[in-house]
Amino acid sequence: GGAMSVAPSGDARSTMKAAHVTSWCAVGTVPDKISIGDVPVPPDPVKNEVLISVKASSVNVDDVALLQDTVGGGWFAHARAPTVGNAYVGGCDYAGVVLKCGPECKILKVGDRVCGVQDIWMKQRPGTWAEQTLAGEDEVCPMPEGMPFVDAAAVAMGAFVCGDMWKRAVKALKGADLRCLVVGASGGLGSVMVQMLSKREGEKLHVTAVCSGANADKVRALGADEVVDYSVGPFGQQLAATPGGGKFAAVFDFVGGRDVEANARPLLRRGGRFITAVGPVLNPQDRVLSCGEFTGAQCGLLGRALRGCLPCTGSKYDIAMSYPPLKPDDFQLVTGGGARALVALVVPFQEGPLREAVRRASSHHPGGRIVMDLEL
């Protein structure tokens, strides 16, 4: 369009470097199948879209699931199917700089530093393991002054998930001397939640974190008041045996599975909330669930939700179900107090290091967020 503002000349390329696949990967094969090569650049922005030069993007276990088509156990949330002629670019979150603005942009301008989580389902936005990506300006978060691109990309998914979980917990977090439990506290999401809770303005929250003993010092440094090492024994038993340990107003679960729930539910006070980012099936995105497994999981969630509505039930069960993109309000809510993701590894935008990053993300124990830095 004629009203479009354009970046300085020299950027009018038809192809860009991107990490992509040309067919769905069998479970466990993403590290071997992902390759970095030339793909067409995104189309020029129309309406209120912006073209973004990607400076950093993180490598999440959900990104791996997308390339295997196993998100949610393979039963919903399918991305566009990759083909040899139309490769699928991996990655959902990003931090970068606006290169071009569509004619209806009102907020952003060329050169603005931005980050976000792409809506790759409904709007089929392009992936972010690439030199450029495209989004609507209402799907993009302006980055705070001075925040490095790696930090913004690392915290984007944490802001997306933790912002939603926080809103679900707010009712239970009223009053003084409140205790919260974070399970999976050293991961890319849990580390953000620990900081959100410990840095909260107003009433002080006592934060207990569950992680491996190897990560205990890191998690204490993030603001946890108490750390429980799950490798020593079930955390529910350890906490129940703690002298003077009160009940929890909220449990934030970033691990999933029935064991976590069974350990945590008895620790909740009346009116408390168990909020999970995963659900009752452990690592559901690692494989395609059978019809029985998927139906059982859905019925289990429905049963838990209904049980939480009964007056005789002491606590409520909730699952984070937010839908991308990441909203600026949520980004501010989570990061405004200084919460950042624990970064375990930064890799350059090269095939070997990316494959290693995907392997580490797939392990479910990366020790924090893994970020690809396109400026290295």
pLDDT per residue as tens digits for the range 214-263: 999 999 999 999 999 999 999 999 999 877 667 999 999 999 988 999 99
In this structure, are 171 and 229 located in the same domain? Answer: yes
Give the model's pLDDT for residue 7.
Answer: 44
| Full-model pTM | 0.85
User: What is d(CA 285, CA 224) in angstroms, rounded to the nearest whole number?
Assistant: 29
**Does residue 159 surpass a pLDDT of 60?**
yes
Domain CATH number, residue 232:
3.40.50.720
In this structure, are 71 and 186 located in the same domain? Answer: no
In this structure, are 129 and 206 located in the same domain? Answer: no
Give the model's pLDDT for residue 2.
Answer: 38
Domain enclosing residue 38, as ranges: 15-143+342-373
In the structure, what pLDDT confidence band is assigned to residue 8 with cuts at 50, 70 and 90? very low
Examine residue 300 and state whether it is found in any structural domain, yes or no. yes
Examine residue 207 and state whether it is found in any structural domain, yes or no. yes
Quick one: which of 362, 344, 289 has its CA closest to 30?
362
Give the model's pLDDT for residue 80.
Answer: 74
User: What is d(CA 116, CA 123) in angstroms, rounded to the nearest whole number?
Assistant: 14
The burial class, CB within 10 Å (0-12 / 13-18 / 19+), for 167 is middle
Percent of the chain with pLDDT strictly greater than 70: 85
**Does residue 201 surpass a pLDDT of 80?**
no
**Does residue 194 surpass a pLDDT of 60?**
yes
Domain CATH number, residue 132:
3.90.180.10
Helix, strand, coil % (nearest 5) of the chain? 30, 25, 40
User: What is d(CA 119, CA 109) in angstroms, rounded to the nearest whole number?
Assistant: 21
Domain count, the chain: 2
Give the model's pLDDT for residue 91.
Answer: 96
Radius of gyration in angstroms for the set of CA atoms belonging to the chain, rounded to a whole number: 21
Q: Are 142 and 108 in contact (CB under 8 A)?
A: yes
In this structure, are 139 and 162 located in the same domain? Answer: no
Give the model's pLDDT for residue 3.
Answer: 41
Q: Are 351 and 190 in contact (CB under 8 A)?
A: no
In this structure, are 181 and 297 located in the same domain? Answer: yes
Quick one: which of 223, 151, 233, 243 has its CA closest to 182?
223
User: What is d(CA 187, CA 215) in angstroms, rounded to the nearest whole number?
Assistant: 10
User: What is d(CA 238, CA 232) in angstroms, rounded to the nearest whole number?
Assistant: 9
**Does residue 311 surpass a pLDDT of 60?**
no
Give the model's pLDDT for residue 76.
Answer: 56
In the structure, what pLDDT confidence band is assigned to residue 304 with cuts at 50, 70 and 90? low
Examine residue 124 and state whether it is found in any structural domain, yes or no. yes
User: What is d(CA 251, CA 269) in angstroms, rounded to the nearest whole number?
Assistant: 10
**Does residue 293 surpass a pLDDT of 90?**
no
Give the model's pLDDT for residue 45.
Answer: 98
Q: Torsions phi, psi of 205, nearest 5?
A: -100, 135
Give the model's pLDDT for residue 172.
Answer: 86
Give the model's pLDDT for residue 5.
Answer: 43
In this structure, are 23 and 76 located in the same domain? Answer: yes
Q: Which uninterrupted H or E stretch holds 369?
A: strand 369-373
DSSP 355: H
Q: Are 297 and 187 in contact (CB under 8 A)?
A: no
In this structure, are 236 and 361 located in the same domain? Answer: no
30-34, 59-63, 318-322: least confident range = 318-322
Examine residue 99 and state whether it is found in any structural domain, yes or no. yes
In the structure, what pLDDT confidence band is assigned to residue 75 with cuts at 50, 70 and 90? very low
In the structure, what pLDDT confidence band is assigned to residue 177 with cuts at 50, 70 and 90? confident
Examine residue 1 and state whether it is found in any structural domain, yes or no. no
In this structure, are 310 and 169 located in the same domain? Answer: yes
Quick one: which of 25, 45, 60 has its CA closest to 345?
60
Contacts of 215 (CB under 8 A, 6+ apart): 185, 186, 367
Q: For 72-84, what is the mean pLDDT?
A: 66
Give the model's pLDDT for residue 292.
Answer: 57
| Tokens of residue 343, six digits | 């970064």
In the structure, what pLDDT confidence band is assigned to residue 132 with cuts at 50, 70 and 90? very high
Q: For 115-130, what is the mean pLDDT?
A: 93
Q: Which uninterrupted H or E stretch holds 35?
A: strand 35-40
Examine residue 330 and state whether it is found in any structural domain, yes or no. no
Examine residue 337 and state whether it is found in any structural domain, yes or no. no
Quick one: which of 244, 243, 277 has its CA closest to 260?
277
In this structure, are 54 and 125 located in the same domain? Answer: yes
In this structure, are 165 and 301 located in the same domain? Answer: yes
272-283 per-position pLDDT tens digit: 999 999 876 554
Q: Which of 118-127, 158-167, 285-294 ranks highest by mean pLDDT?
A: 158-167
- DSSP for 163-218 reads HHHHHHHGGGG-SSSEEEEEESTTSTTHHHHHHHHHT-SSSPEEEEEEE-GGGHHH
In this structure, are 23 and 128 located in the same domain? Answer: yes
Examine residue 211 and state whether it is found in any structural domain, yes or no. yes
Give the model's pLDDT for residue 6.
Answer: 43
In the structure, what pLDDT confidence band is assigned to residue 268 with cuts at 50, 70 and 90? very high
Percent of the chain with pLDDT strictly greater than 90: 66
Q: For 317-339, what is the mean pLDDT?
A: 90
Q: What are the residues facing 248 on neighbouring strands?
A: 268
Give the model's pLDDT for residue 82.
Answer: 82
In this structure, are 136 and 222 located in the same domain? Answer: no
Q: For 202-211, what is the mean pLDDT?
A: 89
